[in-house]
Amino acid sequence: MGLPSQKKKKKANKQIKRGQIRANKQKSPRVPPAWWHGPGSSFRVQRCFAPFQEEAKMVHRARIPELLTWLRQLQVQLHNPPTIHHPASQGQMEICVTSGSQEGLSKVFEMLINPGDNVIINEPVYSGTLQALQPMGCNIINVSSDEFGIIPDAVKEILSKWTPEDSQNPEKNTPKFLYTVPNGNNPTGTSLTTERKKEIYKLARKYDFLIIEDDPYYFLQFSKSWAPTFLSMDVDGRVIRADSFSKVLSSGLRIGFLTGPKPLIERVVLHTQVSTMHPNTFTQLLVSELLHQWGEEGFLAHVARVIDFYRKQRDALLAAADKWLSDLAEWHVPDGGMFLWIKIKGISDTRPLIEEKAIKNQVLMVPGYAFFIDRSALTPYFRASFSLASPEQMDVAFQRLAQLIKESL
């Protein structure tokens, strides 16, 4: 085949440019005013999808149908979302594959946030989330949490500045969404209880905001009975859930997936088409083939083995902490994930201890300030990971750290 003619090039460039302009014009929908009414809900999403009816026909390009079907069946089996049978106009559940869950979340933030919008998170929070949110120019509101996750009464206190009716008036600027990592939170290792999730979801319905359920550690829950998800409670189509294979297959595959209301998921796909075009086809096929060979039962059996590995790793780290740090620090036992959040007694700022002294002694931890909105604030916390180190390395690391803490007191 020869090179395309200049005429064809100009036509193609014009089509690409027109598609990008359309995407940019509608980039950050305000939630509300109206696009759909979920069953029993006042939830309304901006009427912003009409210009995309033609482009929506393209959203299946570069998808692997077999992978999407498998993932859809998995979500139905694990979460049984109430929206699975809703009409598209009422937030029907849809799925799209992303280049890792981080890409999906970044596109969700870009889709939803306008400068000046209010969003709710709970500190300490994964630093990658902060780095994605802060350039958006939104007001990040911190809600208090404890060893059981976000405290619903603290959410109520934040929302008390508005009335439920204010959510229907864009000028009131009610919070657009609440973001949370509900299981094995990075860095704290905490997990939201079922009752707290139910209370938070009721508040989301009352004050009409979305819930961004970032759950990369869902498959690393150490208790035998897994807690119900926000997706499983979502009767309105107000939950966007991010899942990842990075923790149970391979982080290098960069394959994650979003589940949420069809109109919003289609917006993410359209955004992908004018940015990265689509997730890597080869790794999608590789994951799809592996999952189909395993089947759902085989996949969950693999997950059980991964959980067993991380539970043993957690227990080894806790044993080392009990041995060397029990008089110097305090912590809560993580219910999932791969992190232990430790507070050092008598030290107000862990930055010099962890970033300078510990590194010089070949001990690598993350100082707590990295997980807060205000990185200049002093914090006595640091994060330890039990994903890679051997039990022997954990023991040596905490022995060295204990000596450094004593020297710093």
| CB-CB neighbours of 287 under 10 Å | 23
Residue 7: is its pLDDT beyond 50? no
CA distance 102 to 243: 10
Segment 238-260 mean pLDDT:
94
What is the DSSP pairing of strand 366-367 with strand 381-385?
antiparallel
Q: Which amino acid is at 387?
A: S
33 close to 44: Cβ distance less than 8 angstroms: yes
Q: How many CA atoms lie within 13 A of 68 on its CB side?
A: 17
Residue 236's nearest CA partner among 78, 81, 74, 30 is 81
Residue 175: is its pLDDT beyond 70? yes
Terminal alpha carbon distance of the chain? 73
Helices 152-159 and 194-207: crossing angle in degrees, nearest 10, is 10
CA 381 to chain centroid: 22
Residue 361: is its pLDDT beyond 50? yes
Residue 16: is its pLDDT beyond 70? no
| pLDDT 10s digits, 303-340 | 999 999 999 999 999 999 999 999 999 999 999 999 99
Angle 245-248-252 from CA coordinates, rounded to 5°: 60
CA distance 255 to 223: 26
Two tokens, residue 296:
């759902």
CA distance 262 to 83: 10
Q: With bands split at pLDDT 50, 70 and 90, how would you rate the model's confidence at 2?
A: very low
Q: State whether residue 202 is helix, strand or coil.
A: helix
| pLDDT 10s digits, 259-283 | 999 999 999 999 888 887 888 889 9
In the DSSP assignment, the letter for residue 336 is B
Dump strand ranges (E) for 345-396: 366-367, 381-385
Burial class (CB in 10 A: 0-12, 13-18, 19+), 71: buried
Rg (CA), the chain: 23
